[in-house]
Copies of this chain bind each other. A is one copy, B any other.
Amino acid sequence: MNRPSSPRASRRKAGTRTIRDVAALAGVSSITVSRYFNTPEKVSEAVRERLREIIDRIGYVPSQVAGGLASGRGRVVCAIMQNIASATFADLVKGMTDELQASGLQLLLANACYSQSLEEDAIRAFLGWHPSALILTRDDHTPAAEAMLAALNIPVVEAWGYVEDRPYHQVGFPHAEAGTELTRHFLDQGARRVRFVLPYAEEDFRATQRAQGYARAMAAAGLVSDVRRADVSDDYEVGAREIDAVRAAPRDTRPQAIVFTNDYMAAGAILHASDCGMDLPADCAIAGFGGAGVSARLKPALTTLRPGRYQIGQQAARTVLQLLAADPATEPSASRTLVPCELLVRESSRIVRP
């Protein structure tokens, strides 16, 4: 009963070396090899030397999986993006990987496609990996997601936005204020009819937040908001159509300036304007958002508000690293790190008085 006929075959996969193989070769116990990796200062110089040579020779790499299970803390940071393919999130990812790779942490990535529900699914899937930290890119979650986050008991960073009264760490900038800043740039020049153009898809809630900042700035100046929602998905085409709309309107009701949700729409406007004989910025001033590379090359060069996308990713990762390094006892209240945008003022946004 206590001894089956055969002593049960090993389940080892061929070619897999373990900490014990290394230990045997070095004539030490396996725990010493473990210490060699985790707390080398507790291993004598002589043994360390011997182990280094053996590990190099047989190309041994410790199993993160086994280590994670045994220690309870996997060296994993999970991040959920809203649209991995976009330049915005690609830069965020680069900032995070650059910082995490250096610390030996592995980044696990998921794509939520701007959906709360997909974000919830991703969080749930990540639970199984026992992450040491979680980086999100929105601050409104489903109740189920909030519950999981609260129960997780690991550092959670909400990157990209910058919001008050959240229980988690914030790294980013206030999007509403970004809209306000661009609007004020025009108001300060004396413009009174300023339009804001939203993209076709409602999914990007950040764009909506910027529109709210625009509306606040207009209201504060005693002006009427003029928000238009695009009717095509191609950003360049949106810009082109806006130019056509402006041309079709009587001069005295035309917007003097347009703030576009992103630089691609603004670029579409500028490229189309030069095509149909419209004189920018005299006929209509333009500003974008994002700091796209092409913005400086357009004629007129595009004024844009450039967020520190890479820096936000980097800072989010740094925040995680600090929290992991800190004494878990010192409960740090949710921090907020502002990574400001840079307003690049160029020719396109100059208000020309008639």
Residue of B with least CB distance to A87: B87
Partner of A111, one of B67, B94, B111: B94
Residue of B with least CB distance to A129: B64
Task: Report A248-288 residues with CB < 8 Å from chain B CB.
Answer: 264, 267-268, 271-272, 274-275
Q: Which residues of B contact A84 (CB under 8 A)?
A: 90, 93-94, 97
B72 touches A13 (CB 8 A): yes
A101-114 toward B: CB 8 Å interface, digit per residue (1/0)? 10010111111000
A94 touches B85 (CB 8 A): yes
User: Beyond the given A65-B65, A271-B298, could you list 9 further A-B residue pairs with CB under 8 A, ordered by the A residue number?
Assistant: A13-B72, A65-B128, A85-B91, A85-B310, A107-B108, A236-B293, A236-B296, A240-B297, A271-B297
Q: Does A124 contact B (CB under 8 A)?
A: yes
For the complex, give the distance between the alpha carbons of A98 and B110 in Å: 9
Partner of A130, one of B11, B63, B85, B97: B63
B86 touches A90 (CB 8 A): yes
B106 touches A129 (CB 8 A): yes
Q: Which residues of B contact A153 (CB under 8 A)?
A: 15
Q: Does A326 contact B (CB under 8 A)?
A: no
Q: Does A299 contact B (CB under 8 A)?
A: yes
Task: Report A191-215 residues with CB < 8 Å from chain B CB.
Answer: none
Chain A interface SS verdict (over half): helix
Q: Which residues of B contact A219 (CB under 8 A)?
A: none
Q: Does A61 contact B (CB under 8 A)?
A: yes
Task: Report A106-139 residues with CB < 8 Å from chain B CB.
Answer: 106-111, 124-125, 127-130
Q: Which residues of B contact A128 (CB under 8 A)?
A: 61-65, 67
13 pairs from A and B in contact (CB 8 Å cutoff) = A11-B72, A62-B128, A65-B68, A65-B74, A83-B94, A84-B97, A85-B91, A90-B90, A101-B110, A271-B298, A274-B274, A274-B299, A294-B294
For the complex, give the distance between the alpha carbons of A20 and B109 in Å: 29
Residue of B with least CB distance to A92: B85
A59-77 toward B: CB 8 Å interface, digit per residue (1/0)? 1011111111100101000
Q: Does A325 contact B (CB under 8 A)?
A: no
Q: Which residues of B contact A242 (CB under 8 A)?
A: none
Q: Which residues of B contact A46 (CB under 8 A)?
A: none
For the complex, give the distance between the alpha carbons of A169 and B104 in Å: 29
Q: Does A148 contact B (CB under 8 A)?
A: yes
Q: Which residues of B contact A296 (CB under 8 A)?
A: 236
Partner of A109, one of B59, B107, B294: B107
A281 to chain B: closest CB distance in Å? 17
Q: Which residues of B contact A101 (CB under 8 A)?
A: 110-111
Partner of A97, one of B11, B90, B111, B129: B111
Q: Does A220 contact B (CB under 8 A)?
A: no
For the complex, give the distance between the alpha carbons of A130 and B62 in Å: 10
A134-169 toward B: CB 8 Å interface, digit per residue (1/0)? 000000000000011001010000000000000000
Partner of A59, one of B74, B110, B148: B148
A120 to chain B: closest CB distance in Å? 11
Q: Which residues of B contact A11 (CB under 8 A)?
A: 72
For the complex, give the distance between the alpha carbons of A38 and B245 in Å: 58
